Chains A and B, each alone.
Chain A
Amino acid sequence: MKISPPVRFALASSVAVGALAFLSSAALAAALASCVKSVDLATLGPTSIVGQGPHGEKAASVDEVKLSDADAEKVKAGHFKVGISMQTVNLDWSQLQVQGITDTLKKYGVSVTGVASAEYQVDKQIADIENTIQQHPDGIISIPVDFTATAPTYKKVSQAGIKLVFMDSIPTGLEHPKEYASMVSADSQGNGQIAAQILASCVDKGGTIGLVNFGVDYFSTNERTKGVREWMQKNRPDIKMKQVDFTDPAKVSQIAGDFLTANPDIKGVFAVWDQPALDTLSSMRAQNIDIPVTTVDLGLQSAIEIAKGAPLKATGSQRPYDQGAAEAMAMMNALIGKETPAWVGVQSLPVVQSNVLESFKTVFKKDPPAELTDACNGAKPACN
């Protein structure tokens, strides 16, 4: 059968276009696959705490709240009791915190009077703390649901002679060391730096990245985005940054999708925590966009996405169990009358495809579930 010249031309050009598309997508895939590998895991992330506390304090390391043998004896002899007041107990993050606190306290013979969960409600937390004060514990470890409305109630804790250790943030107006012994949190800025460093390794010179940022003024999310911006300005000033803010986490998928439509020059995305990153991924899949994404915090679904290899490349994870253990140590220091640092920062953990299983164990203190190991097995040998 003879093929007419116009048909031949059309066939040839479609084959050429197809081949070009294949080659360019293969080149893109190769570039994306190699981008994280150029970063050395051993040198990834900050070697010490980079952020500052809410009042500009320098961070103390976890080592600074370790107990000597003599101190440990004093703690055991004190038969202390400690109460815990959480914002919720329904998150992995808060369960691991509580587990870290109780395991550590138990080791030194300190008993936990109870764990109250405020369900994110200010009035419930105020009642929880007042009820805990009535149990006359020696100390309370708590994460404030709100910075201002709970402050007067927290002041009552110190007035009652009870030691106070905060996780993550400090209510407005409380002074160290008079009104609280210590605050322990992740190094959010350091986590942001990890995300920035890996994202930068995937973006060509002069490229543009998009930051999907939480538009509400909140200490730890502000610090993360700040960490990314500062790292880029210092180490990759060639990279341009564009930002979109969301205030309702339920709307991230739409907002991030539209942001990428309006800014087709964006070649990489940082999302401020793992759920917004996953919502950004779902819009990218719908719009056939394949660019690297990095974030902060680790959950099962984000771990699975990282294990698969693309497009979620990395996260800077908190270590909630270790943060809980540090809170318990700071509390015991305070209970035996030792000076305690205003802010203890717990170092960031970089999580990439090659260490995702091990990192999952480090963060969650348990073996990875089947869904994660299956995803990792499907991406061997890159996944470990």
Chain B
Amino acid sequence: MTDRLVTTAVAPAPEQRRASTLVQTLLRSEWPWMLYLAFVVLLVVFSFASPWFLSIDNFLNIGRQTTLVSIAAIGMTFVIIAGQIDLSVASTLALSGMAAALAMSHLANFWFVGALAGLGTGALVGLINGTLTTRLAIPSFLVTLGTLSAARGLAMMVTDTKPVIITNERYFRIFGEGNLFGLPAPIAWTLAATIGGVLLLHYNIFGRRIYAAGGNPTAALYSGIQIKRVTTWAFVLTGALAGLAALILSARSHAARPDVVQGMELDVIASVILGGCSLFGGRGFILGTLLGSLIIGTLNNGLVLLGVSSPMQLIIKGAIIVAAVAFTKR
């Protein structure tokens, strides 16, 4: 209140006014500029604090480490913009990985058999999530809370909780350890998912329908948009992308395990929200999501490089995420 009185009492000089208008425009803009700034600050701080941070190898580390969250978060961006949520991504990832490994060990040991099984299983879980949410009108929070549990249970049941060993070298190269277009495979897949996500969300009619479905469902309905169908596709896409993440994880660890990435859905949702997506739907960007995921990944990486103890890492990470969201939401 006092601040406002002061600012109205003393008129700012024209240059100041221009500068503050620019800041206000940036703040008001749809794009999360403050987030870019936060990311740059983080990079500068860690570069000074650790001699190991500023190197291509370490940036490749961060890229590889954030792959799973980034890819799943790209799918989640669609779901959240459509005004829904998917809590089951981590369980879907675990189940898809098991499906991929089992298909290769029991059906045929070809990389594309594993890939199809993994992507297909993910998409199927997404289809179930989408259908139950839209056709039975159950809130997606509850539907996906159910599939979070059921998919994990199924992943554990198929092999009685045992891991499934993968022996296909080509599968390892394509999804985990090789190079695609001169980049480590996981990073290449993240870029592919990002480009696909940007094209689909920002340069395609499907994307505009997603925004409409989440932003103003009533108006969307009267405009002839089939909200149920669009929303279901958003879930299918998220499931399939969780399947892609599963291929990368299982190729990297030479096995699929049913207990992997428990709790990853929280990192995924945090990345999406940090990236400027509204939790209530209608607003969000793929590049923002990628940046959100990179910020969390950079924090994880930098804090370990600095030798910060693991409980302290959790506290710092939590505080920075809340602070970053608070700034970007102004």
Contact = CB atoms under 8 A, between A and B. Distances in A.
The secondary structure that dominates the A interface is helix
Interface stretch (B144-152, B223-231, B252-260): B252-260
A247 B315 CA distance: 13
Given A244-B304, A257-B64, 9 more contacts: A90-B156, A244-B307, A250-B260, A254-B65, A258-B300, A282-B252, A300-B162, A301-B254, A371-B167
A215 B156 CA distance: 26
A195 to B, nearest CB: 21
B134 interface: no
Contacts of A286: 61, 64, 176-177, 184, 186, 252
Contact of B262 (A245, A250, A301): A250
Given A246-B310, A262-B304, A278 B160 contact: no
Interface string B237-257: 000000000000000111100
B265 to A, nearest CB: 12
Contacts of A374: 167
A260 to B, nearest CB: 9
Contact of B310 (A215, A278, A299): A215
Contact of A300 (B165, B176, B177): B165
Given A301-B165, A304-B165, A247 B305 contact: no
A257 B61 CA distance: 8
Interface stretch (B50-58, B70-78, B322-330): B50-58
Contacts of A250: 260-264
Contacts of A299: 163
A215 B310 CA distance: 8
A285 B177 contact: yes
30 contacts: A92-B162, A244-B304, A244-B307, A245-B310, A248-B263, A250-B261, A251-B300, A253-B252, A254-B65, A255-B304, A258-B65, A258-B304, A259-B304, A261-B58, A262-B52, A262-B305, A262-B306, A264-B52, A278-B255, A282-B254, A285-B177, A285-B252, A286-B184, A286-B252, A300-B162, A300-B163, A301-B163, A301-B165, A304-B165, A371-B167
A9 B161 CA distance: 58
Interface string B142-184: 0000000000000010001111010100000000110000001
Top 10 nearest A-B pairs (CB, nearest first) are: A258-B304, A90-B161, A262-B305, A282-B253, A254-B65, A262-B52, A371-B165, A247-B310, A282-B252, A215-B310
A301 to B, nearest CB: 5
Interface in B48-96: 50, 52, 57-58, 61, 64-65
A258 B301 contact: yes
Interface size class for chain A? 20 to 34
A56 to B, nearest CB: 28
Interface in A275-295: 278-279, 282, 285-287
A252 B108 CA distance: 31
Interface of B: 50, 52, 57-58, 61, 64-65, 156, 160-163, 165, 167, 176-177, 184, 186, 252-255, 260-264, 300-301, 304-307, 309-311, 314
Given A92-B162, A245-B310, A250-B260, A287 B61 contact: yes
B161 A261 contact: no
B175 to A, nearest CB: 12
A382 B171 CA distance: 27
A245 B309 contact: yes
A167 to B, nearest CB: 19
A1 interface: no
Contacts of B176: 286
A254 B252 CA distance: 12
A261 B162 CA distance: 31
A136 B41 CA distance: 66
B21 to A, nearest CB: 42
Contacts of B252: 253, 282, 285-286
Given A90-B156, A250-B260, A262 B50 contact: yes
Contacts of A259: 304
B301 A301 contact: no
